[in-house]
Structure 1
Amino acid sequence: MAGGMPDRTFLVNVFSQVDRDRSGAIDAKELQSALSNGNWTAFNPDTVRLMIGMFDRKGTGTINFDEFGSLWKYVTDWQQCFRSFDRDHSGNISKEELKTAITTFGYRFSDQFYEILMRRFDRSGKGGIYFDDFIQCCVVLHTFTQAFSQLDQDRDGVITIGYEQFLHLVFSHRV
């Protein structure tokens, strides 16, 4: 995912359009209305909250202008990534395209696991994952991989944990 930071004047204009209440900060509802899947469907509110949480350094539930610049670059980079894996230009990621993307990111999963990912992130139920859900899928995988890696001291891909520790692992992450 490559791409430089957009020009400040451009970002100021976009930020002022998204900040509809002129509060100087963007909340999840404002951000959701500004983001597009490219298919006239609303951006997944869970993905929007996840992204706000990633860039909200002060823990206010909103992002200021500087945080918005980082988020804008993040979304733009994901957009380029999404387009590169949407090989048939359908506007969504099929199971095969998802396998290609996830494998490119360094993961090795069974076909059964890709079925689970498709069921979880294909909100339309039509066999394709839209842009917003693709971001969420990749961020969730990355977040849980990091959490798992912290417990996998010997790097063998296996951890032994108790039930409460497992629940702590799952519930302590914003995904």
Structure 2
Amino acid sequence: MYSSESSSYGYQTSSSNGPNPAPTGPQEEDLIKWFQAVDQDKSGKISSNELRQALVVGNRSHFSIEACELLVKMFSSENSRMIDVQGFKQLFHYVNQWKTSFHMFDRDHSGAIDEKELGQALVQMGYRLSDKSVTALLNKFTSKPGQITFDNFILACVQLHQLTDAFRRHDTQHTGTITIAYEDFIQAVVESI
């Protein structure tokens, strides 16, 4: 049996691809233009390499290819490893929410947050994790001793979101507790990473 500490799992999602659909209006037009500029081969879809050219962290360096691959996987339709304009809009909206959370706790503007700040950011995003789980996330995604940078924060959030979705599919009663067969657990984890 596996249990979360509460029935709160983070962002409330309307679909498996993000917390809410991307906003409409003038911002949508800008996102479409940005997507078209990033879509170098004009295929109507972008790859993780094309996405990497579009996403820049605070110090003007690009996101890691690993982060971009996970984001494309999360927002692609039917695991195509490519995202269309709708997936791009959802991705943009989601990354902006993560960015807001991250910068709220990166008070010294160093581009990294510590374990306590990571825990606070996750709580602000709706996750209720134990200190032990926050430490495990920090240790897995740390890039500086005891700190996590924005692009590794994105990696942690994507994996946490995917694992949460896998857990949520088995938590049909929304209790925060599931009973799961070993094979189902392995499949859920493998599909999430």
| TM-score over 0.5 (shorter chain) | yes
1:42-121 residue pairs with structure 2 within 5 A? 42-57=62-77, 59-121=79-141
TM-score of the two chains, using structure 1 as the length reference: 0.79
Contact 1:37–1:130 (CA<8 Å) still a contact in 2?
no
Residue 138 (structure 1) aligns with: 157
Aligned 8 A contact 2:101 2:124 in 1: no
Note if contact 1:119-1:125 (Cα within 8 Å) is conserved in structure 2: no
| Equivalent pairs, count | 173
Partner Cα separation in structure 2 for residue 90 and residue 115 of structure 1: 20
1:106-146 CA-partner distances (Å, limit 9, x unpaired): 33333332221111111x23322222221221232233223
Paired-residue identity, %: 39
Matches of 2:29 and 2:185 in 1, distance apart?
Answer: 46
Q: Does 1:125 align with 2:125?
A: no
Distance 1:29 1:150 in 2: 31
Aligned twin of 1:172: 191
Give the CA deviation at 1:35.
0.8
* Inter-partner Cα distance in structure 2 for 1:76 and 1:170: 26
Structure 2 unmatched runs, 5+: 1-18
Going from structure 1 to structure 2, the CA distance change for 1:9 and 1:114 (only over 3 Å counts) comes to closer
Alpha-carbon offset, residue 29 of structure 1: 0.5
Residues 162/88 of structure 1: CA separation in 2 closer, same or farther (3 Å cut): same
User: How far has the Cα of 1:105 moved from its partner?
Assistant: 3.0
Which of 55, 63, 68 in structure 2 is aligned with 1:35?
Answer: 55
- For structure 1, the 5+ residue unaligned runs are none
Q: Distance in 2 between matches of 1:45 and 1:137?
A: 14
Partners of 1:143 and 1:130 in 2: how far apart? 20
The Cα RMSD (Å) is 2.8
Matches of 1:117 and 1:19 in 2, distance apart? 33
Q: Specify which structure has the bigger relative contact order, considering alpha-carbon pairs within 8 angstroms and separated by 6 or more residues.
A: 2
Distance (Å, rounded) in 2 between the aligned partners of 1:10 and 1:154: 40
Shift of 1:62: 1.8
Structure 1 counterpart of 2:182, from 147, 151, 163: 163
Listed one character per residue, the Cα deviations across residues 54-108 of structure 1 (whole Å, up to 9, x for unaligned) are 3222543222334323322332332222212222322122111101012223333
The answer (yes or no) to whether the contact 1:27–1:61 under 8 Å persists in 2 is yes
How far, CA to CA, are the matches of 1:9 and 1:65 in structure 2?
A: 11
CA distance in 2, matches of 1:63, 1:144: 21
